[in-house]
Amino acid sequence: DSGVTQTPKHLITATGQRVTLRCSPRSGDLSVYWYQQSLDQGLQFLIQYYNGEERAKGNILERFSAQQFPDLHSELNLSSLELGDSALYFCASSVGLAGSSYNEQFFGPGTRLTVL
């Protein structure tokens, strides 16, 4: 158990809909990262928040947005869903920008999104 929790574990929805994925980081971790794992693209970085502020953006679509709340949990919002958005979405947390001595990010178990 990494200490990072993600809800829900599974989500099935239809095209055009909007969903929210939730992540609670490890206690004391200030950085939250979101990654998408799809069959053809592998694990790709989407966005990072540090202590409530957006820190870096990766391959995140404009239809997707995220935020980190004062209690440090984070939500990833996916809207106007398309079939191609079906993927595993992972959240990871680390102590700070540099993480531990190994820049370690601790990953949650993921949310599997299926868009029908």
What DSSP letter does each residue of 34-95 carry, written as one string? EEEEETTTEEEEEEEEETTEEEEE-S--TTEEEEE-TTS-EEEEE-S--GGG-EEEEEEEES
Q: Is 90 a binder of other proteins (CB under 8 A)?
A: yes
User: Counting contacts by CB under 8 A, is residue 31 touching other proteins?
Assistant: yes
Among 21, 32, 68, 110, binds other proteins (CB under 8 A): 110
According to CB under 8 A, which one of 35, 64, 68, 78 is a site residue for other proteins?
35
Give one word for 42, left, alpha or beta, with left for phi > 0 and alpha for psi -120 to 50.
left
| Residue 99 sits in the site that holds other proteins (CB under 8 A) | yes
Give the residues lining the site for other proteins (CB under 8 A).
Answer: 2, 4, 31, 33, 35, 41-45, 48, 55-56, 58, 90, 92, 94, 97-99, 102-110
